[in-house]
Amino acid sequence: MSNLLIVESPAKAKTIEKYLGKDYKVLATLGHIIDLPKNKIAVDTEHEYKPEFIIMDGKKKIISSLKKSLPKKGEGEVLLAMDPDREGEAIAWHTMNALKLKNPKRVVFHEITKDAVVEAIKKPRHIDDNLVDAQIARRVLDRLVGYKLSQLLWKKMWYGLSAGRVQSVALKLVVERENEILAFVPKEFWEIKADCKTAKDSDFVAELVKINDKKAHIGNATSSDEVLKALEGKDLSVDTIAKKTVQMSAKPPFTTSTLQQSSNNILGYSTKRTMSLAQQLYQAGYITYMRTDSVNLAQQAIEQIREKIKADYGDKYLSAKTNYFKNKARLAQEAHEAIRPSHFDVSTEKVAKELGSQAAKLYDIIFKRALACQMSPQVVEKLEISLSTKGTDNKKYGFSAKADNLLFDGYSKVWGKKFKDSEDLKSLGEINEGEKVIVKKLIPTQKFTEPKSRYTEATLVKALEKYGVGRPSTYATIISTIIDRGYVTKEQKYLKPKDVGFTVTNFLQSNFNRLVDYTYTAKVEEDLDNIAEGKVKYLPFIDNQYKPLVSELESADKISKDQVLILGDSEEKCPECQSPMQVKLGRYGKFLTCSRFPECKGMKGLAGSESQPEIDLDKYVEVGKCEKCGSEMVMKTGRFGSFWACSAYPKCKNIVSAKLKEKCPKCGKPLVEKKGKWGKTFIGCSGYPKCKYIKKK
């Protein structure tokens, strides 16, 4: 007997085949084999929103190969073992239809270990039609919204832009945060600290926190000077000494979103990179399924963790009772278990040897987080001393000094930053209530309030989860899409919206506010969850989303292109007719255009534009007039470097590469500036690929 087990990934197939032996042949579909075509909307909006699925490019050979490998009737079974989520269920359903299988067995496991795979095969089920419907509903809705909105953006802005049901909401979050930062007005305030000395000559620092029993607020230098004058020559008296012991419990094991956040914060990995590495770890059998919003652990795993803690760290580091965690997600549905190592005897070194150092680093934090969740709490002693004095202005001034002391490191021995005891702890521990404290010096410090930070990938994932936008399996794609589309750029680790990101968001918010509303987006996700549970049907769900979209599209189509792309007026005059100029957004950034366009085609570059910085024209070979229409050629900067473009655009779309006056030392042709795959600029030969010279820095 020879059974056929089908998965998506060759790596996964290779791992599973080692476990099952000669009675099973394990093959892979290489991901999806059937999907909506890319070149049309492919959803029949007139006939119950039926999707027009096709076999994907390059997958006919795979389907043919799978068909040839099917066991003959009565000689074996076909098992579909795709990932344990909606997308995996849809792949299994498409595979069943493509191979014309009747009632194939669907097996599901959340870790690729021998025990898990063998146990899953013993408990097969049928394909879950509700899960399939939920995935198809998501795919169809995203296609309808994305296709229609993107087409409108091409019409109102330029070709190549995109919008989507979820990506546009994520972009809105980034843009709104940037608007908050731009609108933020810093407010001045002052801190006053007292450099103190105890009766036993110990030093510590106390901070002014209250004036006349109200929170101290010192708004400017004048107020600060008044306080300093009132406290001049005054010592402090110890009013109260408060000491308490605080226990800080371990964090739960990783979900998809918390793994992405920690990976970004600790390792500096992007969400896309994190999920790629996690996929490798899962397929190699090192971790459980990496798309999950559950914090539960299997009882067997908990027992393994607790045994390892006891063996490696001793009884005192093992929590007295088993730690169980509650799911924060309203509908934790992607998987039944948190992300954890499949085996706790696999070392980071072994993973590094097989999958490389980056995967090993990710495995290490998954391992430590899972281990720490069953460890004892961290115990910290907190000490707070309240001091006061009466100023020369008869006001009561209250000061506070605080110190922490780590009594027991607990789970932080494995997971957490090293705890630093306060330097003032020893000094504060010697003070008694009623004691007088000498003030050696008062230290005023001017400060200003600061705006919220821009989003990092980690904090954006947290925000998406908070608002219910997308699902764990989609966070990485959402963020990479808004970056790849050029709506957002990364400055160090922070996400900053570009001009086109602002414009697209403003356009969508003005005309499709429903679609970019956080509450609406979260409700759509809930409805998709309800389809998966059989509580909502596909047809009425799609109908309720699509019909309002049609009306919104008709209304937005009446808006002119200039209403979208003209960003404001400029004080500069047109070089052709002296009329006022306007700031306009183009494909390559902001520029100035005549307010009488199209009657007058005068335009100027805009110094300081994010996409059109000032260009040193002296280093480039001049091209003269446009060879197609005779108009002037102007220098512009695009995503792949500088180029000459016809000033008569959009009537004439002629462009010419910008060649440097510097010659190639190998072949003598002009050199050109280019941008590589990762956005870095380099200088190479214009004779590429015949000449592959690249200038070293």
Please provide the distance, in angstroms rounded to a whole number, between the alpha carbons at the two ends of the chain.
64
Residues 472-519 pLDDT 10s: 888 999 999 999 989 999 988 999 999 999 999 999 999 999 999 999
The two three-digit tokens of residue 94, written as one number: 């498409």
The per-residue pLDDT for 676 is: 64
Per the listing, tokens 């007997």 go with 1
Does residue 606 have a pLDDT over 50? yes
Asked if pLDDT for residue 392 goes beyond 60, the answer is: yes
**Residue 18, number of CB atoms within 10 A of its CB:** 10
Say yes or no to pLDDT of 697 above 90.
Answer: no
Convert the pLDDT of each residue in 21-59 to its tens digit.
888 999 999 999 999 998 899 999 999 999 999 999 999
pLDDT given at position 575: 87
Is it the case that residue 350 has pLDDT exceeding 50? Answer: yes
pLDDT for 148: 95
pLDDT tier, 608 (very low <50, low <70, confident <90, very high otherwise): low
Could you tell me the domains of the chain?
Answer: 3-127 (3.40.50.140), 144-183+454-556 (1.10.460.10), 188-249+378-448 (2.70.20.10), 261-372 (1.10.290.10), 563-654 (no CATH)
Above 50 in pLDDT, residue 583?
Answer: yes
- What does the alpha-carbon distance between residue 671 and residue 658 come to, in Å, rounded to a whole number? 9
Tokens at 142, concatenated:
């995203």
**Residue type present at position 375:** M
Check if 289 is active-site.
yes
Which amino acid would we find at residue 317? Y
- What CA–CA distance (Å, rounded) separates 337 from 346? 19
pLDDT tens digits, 401-424: 998 889 999 999 999 776 666 656
Q: For Cα atoms 298, 300, 302, give the angle at the middle one, nearest 5 degrees.
A: 70
**pLDDT value at 374 more than 80:** yes
Between 678 and 588, whose confidence is greater?
588
Asked if residues 145 and 165 have their Cβ atoms less than 8 Å apart, the reply is yes
Q: What is the tens place of the pLDDT at every residue in 192-209?
A: 999 999 888 888 999 999
Share of residues in the chain with pLDDT > 90 (%)? 70
Task: Answer whether 0.85 is exceeded by the pTM.
Answer: no
508: Cβ contacts below 8 Å, ≥ 6 apart: 149, 163, 168, 172, 515, 516
pLDDT of 457 strictly over 60: yes
Question: What average pLDDT score do residues 77-81 get?
Answer: 95
Q: Are 658 and 620 in contact (CB under 8 A)?
A: yes
Out of 24, 49, 282, 289, which one is annotated catalytic? 289
pLDDT of residue 420: 66
d(CA 317, CA 375): 5
Q: Read out DSSP for 275-318?
A: HHHHHHHHHTTSBB-S--------HHHHHHHHHHHHHHH-GGGB
Mean pLDDT of all residues belonging to the chain: 90
Q: Is pLDDT above 80 for 151?
A: yes
The pLDDT confidence band at residue 274, using thresholds 50, 70 and 90, is very high
Q: How far apart are CA 600 and CA 580, in angstroms?
A: 11
Residue 611 has pLDDT above 50, yes or no: no
Q: How many other β-carbons are positioned within 10 Å of the β-carbon of residue 158?
A: 16
Residue 231 in contact with residue 397, Cβ under 8 Å? Answer: yes
Cα torsion 529, 531, 535, 541: sign: positive
**pLDDT score, position 689:** 84
pLDDT band for 678, please (50, 70, 90 cuts): very low
**Contacts within 8 Å (CB) and 24+ apart, 68-72:** 69/4, 69/25, 69/27, 70/4, 70/99, 70/101, 71/1, 71/2, 71/3, 71/4
- Over residues 315-325, mean pLDDT: 93
C-beta pairs of 565-574 under 8 Å, 24+ apart in sequence: 565/156, 565/157, 565/503, 567/499, 567/503, 569/595, 572/604, 574/600, 574/602
Q: Pick 278 or 620 by higher pLDDT.
A: 278
**Structure confidence at residue 451 as a pLDDT band (50, 70, 90):** very high
The confidence score (pLDDT) of residue 333 equals: 44
Q: Is the pLDDT of residue 90 over 90?
A: yes
613: confidence class by pLDDT, cuts 50, 70, 90 = very low
